[in-house]
Amino acid sequence: MVTTQQILERAKRAKQRFNLTSEQKDQALFAMADSIEKNAEKILSANALDVEAAREQMNSVMIDRLTLSHERIVGMANGIRDVAKLPDPVGQVLDTVVRPNGLEIQKRRVPLGVVAIIYESRPNVTSDAAALALKSGNVSVLRGGKEAFRSANAIVEAIREGLESVGVDKDVVNLVQDTTRQSANELMTAVGYVDMLIPRGGAGLIRACVDNAKVPCIETGTGICHVYVDEFADLDMAVNIIENAKTQRPSVCNAAEVIIVHRAVAEKFLPMLKARLVDKRAAEGKTPVELRLDEYARGIIEGTAAGEADFDTEFLNYILGVKTVASLEEAIEHIACHSTHHSDCIVSQSKDNCDVFVAMTDSAAVYVNASTRFTDGGEFGLGCEMGISTQKLHARGPMGLCELTTYKYVIHGNGQTR
């Protein structure tokens, strides 16, 4: 078995030789996509073994995420073709100045180099990540979950075959062969080899990367997102937004976990909320949302009494914390203390209150009168996404191709000295 260190060496060599034009990169991406379709049978066989092995440890939702079909393989290939069609971020001149001494200083967008991605069991992350990295001029080192290893390996083999078919160094896309914790640790500490590490997965994985990484690492994804219903809110709009933010897909990071209701409207609004999220859903045979209420809210509607932890938990489920406040300032303060700074929303018809909320809320995405579920590369018009950063350095919010690049200064002179 090739070791993780050997893969890192390969990746570093590939980076030093990487010098493809935009056209060559796109040709390589189309070749990757074609090769994935051509190798569909091999990929499906490998995937069947993964699914077979996982059947006893995983629930049906997880099994579904892991399972590939012909249709999903075509989807993966088309995903790569979509990436090829995006504009190339590399080479863009971000700024040029000519200094009084005649030096021309250009700030140019360049690839990061080697991007490592640690992810979990969805096989399509393999092809997505490889495509985004290649389009942005980077060498990728992929480290998927153990459960999906055979699938990921078959996909990467197909990708590398495609690259070779158009004369591109296949080592620009690499899959770590070791799926034990050791290989993750090796990537986190690969100083001099990994230019950016992106963990995509649960809070535990992300915490481990942030805590242990010696290479630059992007903190992604954990979302305790809030919707604040202001005293000047359109209450019908508020209930629609909360229903969408909580129930459209509760397992994702941009779903709402806590709502904050101004007490001036609580008496009117909370019964509307309960009717929509609890009673209506129950009547329709859907999972009702469990409301975890603060004391004031419990004086108005029925629900579970909220414990302290309920305002600091990413439920990822049909559970919603409900907090009431006496003022906009108290809402902002609560969000400052309890948000993961991913996506937070105000529902209000007062422009002043919206402006204050926007100015004082320090989150990657701050919404006025719209669902937090829109925090997504596709929805933001980036065309793709490599994850959602909840940190402030380098990238914040959905990461597209530009967020996979850095810049360098190129200075042209004719003998200038200082």
Q: Which residues bind a second copy (CB under 8 A)?
A: 16, 19, 97, 99, 103, 105, 110, 112-113, 195-196, 210-211, 214, 216, 218, 234, 237, 240-241, 243-245, 248, 333, 336, 358-360, 362-371, 373-375, 379-381, 391-394, 396-397, 406-418
What's the token pair of residue 133?
A: 């990295």
Q: Could you say which DSSP state residue 257 is in?
A: E
Do the Cβ atoms of 66 and 147 come closer than 8 Å? yes
Q: Which is nearer to a second copy, 85 or 412 (CB)?
A: 412
Q: How many CB atoms lie within 10 A of CB 88?
A: 17
Helix (H, G, I), strand (E, B) or coil at 33: helix
Q: Which is nearer to a second copy, 19 or 59 (CB)?
A: 19
Rounded to a whole number of angstroms, the minimum distance from the CB of residue 53 to a second copy is 35
Rounded to a whole number of angstroms, the minimum distance from the CB of residue 312 to a second copy is 12
The residues that bridge with 285 in the sheet, in sequence order, are none
Rounded to a whole number of angstroms, the minimum distance from the CB of residue 63 to a second copy is 26
Do the Cβ atoms of 130 and 9 come closer than 8 Å? no
Helix (H, G, I), strand (E, B) or coil at 97: strand
User: What are the phi and psi torsion angles at 293 (to 5°)?
Assistant: -100, 145
Q: Which is nearer to a second copy, 181 or 408 (CB)?
A: 408
Q: Which is nearer to a second copy, 64 or 95 (CB)?
A: 95
Rounded to a whole number of angstroms, the minimum distance from the CB of residue 235 to a second copy is 11
Rounded to a whole number of angstroms, the minimum distance from the CB of residue 367 to a second copy is 5
Question: H or E stretch including 290?
Answer: strand 290-293
CA distance linking residue 51 with residue 168, whole number of Å: 32
Q: Which is nearer to a second copy, 121 or 343 (CB)?
A: 343
Q: Which is nearer to a second copy, 127 or 353 (CB)?
A: 353
Q: Which of 354, 309, 306, 317 is nearest to 332 (CA)?
A: 354
Rounded to a whole number of angstroms, the minimum distance from the CB of residue 210 to a second copy is 7
